[in-house]
Amino acid sequence: MTAEPYVPDTKDLDELRQGARACHGCDLYKDAIQTVFGEGPPDARVVMVGEQPGDIEDRRGEPFVGPAGKVLDRAITESGLDRSATYVTNAVKHFKHRPAAPGKRRIHQTPDRVEIMACRPWLLAEFAQVAPRVVIALGATAAQALLGPSFRVTRQRGELLPWPESAYHAEDFAQPGGSARILATLHPSAILRSDDRDTAYKGLVADLAVAAQALAG
């Protein structure tokens, strides 16, 4: 399973987005309403990568437009990052879920390694076009998709790490000022699930501020 044959040979983000609408690179397209591709300026300095679209994102066709997206927007602004210069996307572009009773919200299921790897060509193509200075992995799925299955967000969150060349070709999106770096933090939906939301939210803002300071330096 791979999205590779569906990824068009183009340098245009909109053409990539169009191509992703027809992706059958794994089985997740079958139960989702639509592909949810990344959104943001094509010259964004920061790319944020979540896990997968949620129920609301699947219905609207846009990433991070549900409650977690609102938390993320606020945290980005409070951290000193520029929301308007941030591209947001997900490691997996279709919503994986369990069916729900009519009228109920569908229940999220974590994508497995095969699905994450199948969808990775889209993420690579987005990185190659946007050429970010910093990539921020939101949560364990995104972090493990980018940094490998042994990476633990709980142990290394908020650390600005060199780009893992073994995972991706850094030269695809090297910037004049140096190659992209990567930082992992919590997924904003984890803030909403936390027993201590205030502390969890402050931790997210502090992690994002590390990226903001690196970009300012």
Q: What is the DSSP string of 150-179?
A: T--HHHHTT--EE--TTTS-GGGG-BTTB-
For the segment 89-148, give every residue that binds ligand SF4 (CB under 6 A): 92-94, 115, 118-119, 122
Token output for 134: 């910093």
35 touching ligand SF4, by CB under 6 A = yes
For the segment 154-213, give every residue that binds ligand SF4 (CB under 6 A): none
127 versus 201: smaller Cβ distance to ligand SF4: 127
Check: CB of residue 163 under 8 Å from CB of residue 126: no
25 touching ligand SF4, by CB under 6 A = yes
CB of 167 to ligand SF4, least distance (A): 17
Among 13, 16, 19, 28, binds ligand SF4 (CB under 6 A): 28
- Distance, in Å, from the CA atom of 52 to the CA atom of 95, rounded to the nearest integer, reads 6
Among 13, 16, 19, 20, binds ligand SF4 (CB under 6 A): 20
CB of 47 to ligand SF4, least distance (A): 17
Full 3-state SS string of 66-89: CHHHHHHHHHHHHHCCCHHHEEEE
From edge to edge, which strands make up the β-sheet containing 46-50?
86-90, 46-50, 134-138, 181-185, 161-162
Q: Which residues contact ligand SF4 by CB under 6 A? A: 3, 20, 23-26, 28-29, 35, 92-94, 115, 118-119, 122
